[in-house]
Chains A and B, each alone.
Chain A
Amino acid sequence: MTEEAMLYGCLHNDAVSQQELYNRFSPKMLSVCYRYAKSREDAEDMLQEGFIKIFTQIHQFQSRGALEGWVRKIVVHTCINNLKKNKKFSESVDIIHATGIQVKEENIPSILQAKQVIECIRMLPLGYRTVLNLYAIEGYSHKEIAAMLDIEESTSRSQYTRAKAMLEDILLKKNILQKPRERTEWMEAVKSN
């Protein structure tokens, strides 16, 4: 089914077209929700809410942009709204000095690298994780994040800096990331040959 036909069907509340759109985007969008949610179950609840919004607001989609981007935007906003209902979340994004976490390699499942990275992101404190998701992956600016989360722009920046440092540490410990060799080491390696 082409995207135009699918959109036309969704606009007319056609179940087949709606299921096509759902099948097309739900795996990716569940991954988005999973990065924000506390658990898989919470992520599925967010996904369900997000898709109901998508189908009820499909007439607001402007065909100028990509459909996936619009779908993603609604899903991300649904996730954020869900998180904001949680009091613990409000507290966590306002904490400037989040407590560090001890990362042990065995905590990280070794399945696929993409999954490993997602699991590493999910190990971050909730406030860190949310800001990191919005800034690094979704591409929102700190100003937009501040408006979305009802926090100061500076708080968003500092949360991101700390989140990034913590995630880098996790990824390095897991050997998912590797620090580049110093130039001198490389030169010496060449010389020794």
Chain B
Amino acid sequence: MERNFYNEDFEGFLKDKADQHRLYPSEKIWKNIHRQLHPRREWPYIIGALLLLLLGVASKYYMDGDEPGNSATVSANNANNIASPNEPAGTTNSSASDNSITPGKKDNRPLSVISSRGINNNEPLSLSFAPGSRNEISALVISGPAGQSTGLFAIEKRNIPFSDLIPLYSIKKINAADISISQPSSLPAEINEMMQRQHADPSSAIVLRPGKKERIEWQFYFTPTVSYRTLNGKATKAPYSYNGIVYSTSPGFPQNVDDAVTHKPSIGMELGMAMLYNVNKKLRVKAGMQFNYSQYLINAYNYVPEIAPYGSSRNGFRSDTINVISHYRNFNGFTQTWLRNERLMISLPVGAEWTVAGKGRVQFNVAATIQPTYNLTNRAYLVSTNLKNYAEEPSLYRKWNVNSALETFLTINTGTVKWSVGPQFRYQLLSSYKNNYPIKEYLFDAGFKVGVNKTLK
């Protein structure tokens, strides 16, 4: 060891030794500084939260309106305007403009066909329905204020799913042009029997037909996934300099990034909602919003801080090397560790669904979407361009990306809702990192999607 003779320049000796000394700060120090200097923009979170809240409220609004047992108040302000039961079926009463139904929810769509009898002038009535088997409905009952049955609304076509009946009792006002009469005698025998059991006068039956098929559906879905990535690129073996010191890369290091990196998949998830429009019986187009959480693990080794190269950045016409202090080695380090790369993304998927087979309760479908994606949080360790080290370098992360997804699924219609279950594959179309980082990473997720569809009324 060098010995220093005790001399008068004690201060000079101390200064020399102090200047030679270096300590490398831990990674979190730069992260904290970066976070303070560049606070995360809050608006994507606020907009996302507001959209979710809005869509949640909207979906609850529509779902509340068609629960079994819900009732709507019926009032007939002008009995004279209500059609006579003796009129032949199919005729229209055009003067029932004041006849109104005031349900809990606003909906101005017209009732398809209705005839009424037994509704007294200015008498508020409630509307309920008699469920048949398998969540289907065969009749509606009008009750007076005291709960006394005053009439039976029988459905001309038997066993209609609840979903088709929603417009019948959620309307605000009957459209006079749509009112017509059906002869009680033309009702099916079962309905007549039911009316007898209800002690209702068959001549007071109001006959309803299902409304038009609704075209818009809401879908909510959750997909547990397995997240992974593909890496492309070759090592850059050129020497690099930092603060005047030139560093070289061992020629013995692997050349292909795939040969040099050890990584393994991990569990992620997808949560979202979409609005679907039925173009026809087989084709639906859809658009929505979803969150994706994706992660995978990388094998690395703890090591003393080192300067590592990470590509270059443009500074006007000049190109500067990006050097980062790394605390991890890809190989030949001290102790093994698994680094976790994780991302939270928000996407706006737009695409289409196609029914391949099935016409009844169960159908087989395929779907594809394209998903503009924004990275909300990004915590990722990048391998250095010489494949020697791992470090975080936020300036290289791409904020916006595009993903695509392909899925096949079965839909099972239970009457009130439609369930969708099936496998899904999602692939990132642009590299996770900017173009000045020569190694390309493409994330992908494979998962099993579970969704529930509700028709919008």
Contacts and interface: CB of A to CB of B under 8 A. Distances in A.
Interface in B141-156: none
Interface stretch (B23-31, B129-137, B419-427): B23-31
A107 B18 CA distance: 19
Interface string A83-115: 000000000000000000000000000000111
Contact of B320 (A1, A117, A172): A1
B18 A177 contact: no
Given A44-B26, A177-B6, A137 B14 contact: yes
Contacts of B25: 26-27, 30, 44, 47
A5 B315 contact: yes
Contact of B34 (A5, A19, A20, A113): A19
Interface stretch (B45-53, B97-105, B211-219, B322-330): B322-330
A23 B323 contact: yes
A136 B29 CA distance: 28
Given A15-B394, A27-B22, A31-B18, A5 B318 contact: yes
B23 A31 contact: yes
A48 interface: yes
A187 to B, nearest CB: 18
Interface of A is mostly: helix
A163 to B, nearest CB: 11
Contact of B6 (A22, A35, A114, A179): A179
B22 A28 contact: yes
Given A5-B318, A113-B2, A15 B33 contact: no
A2 B321 CA distance: 10
Nearest to B318: A5
B5 A180 contact: yes
B11 interface: yes
Interface in B12-63: 13-15, 17-26, 29-30, 32-34, 36-38
A19 B37 contact: no
A162 to B, nearest CB: 14
A165 to B, nearest CB: 10
A16 interface: yes
A97 B33 CA distance: 40
A148 interface: no
B4 A178 contact: yes
Contacts of A164: 10
Given A5-B315, A5-B320, A13-B37, A30 B6 contact: no
B32 A16 contact: no
B30 A19 contact: yes
Nearest to A177: B6
A114 B17 contact: yes
Nearest to B24: A27
Nearest to A139: B15
A161 B1 CA distance: 28
Q: Size band of the B side of the interface?
A: 35 or more
A135 interface: yes
A49 to B, nearest CB: 9
Nearest to A33: B23
A132 B18 CA distance: 12
B395 interface: yes
A16 B395 contact: yes
Nearest to A115: B21
A118 B10 contact: no
A136 B14 contact: yes
Nearest to A164: B10
Interface string A166-189: 011000100111111000000000
B243 interface: yes
A147 B17 CA distance: 27
A16 B38 contact: no
Contacts of B321: 1
Nearest to B33: A51
Contacts of B22: 27-28, 30-31
A32 B19 CA distance: 9
Given A18-B37, A137-B18, A178 B26 contact: no
Interface string A28-45: 101110110000100110
A47 B33 CA distance: 10
B359 interface: no
24 contacts: A1-B321, A13-B38, A16-B313, A16-B322, A18-B34, A20-B323, A26-B29, A27-B24, A27-B305, A31-B21, A44-B25, A52-B37, A55-B33, A114-B17, A114-B21, A117-B18, A118-B21, A132-B14, A136-B15, A176-B3, A177-B5, A178-B4, A178-B5, A180-B6
Given A15-B38, A115-B21, A177-B6, 19 more contacts: A5-B318, A13-B37, A19-B395, A24-B243, A26-B29, A30-B25, A44-B25, A51-B29, A55-B37, A56-B37, A113-B17, A114-B18, A117-B14, A117-B21, A168-B6, A168-B10, A177-B5, A178-B5, A180-B7
Interface of A: 1-2, 5, 9, 13, 15-16, 18-20, 22-24, 26-28, 30-32, 34-35, 40, 43-44, 47-48, 51-52, 55-56, 113-115, 117-118, 121, 132, 135-137, 139, 164, 167-168, 172, 175-180
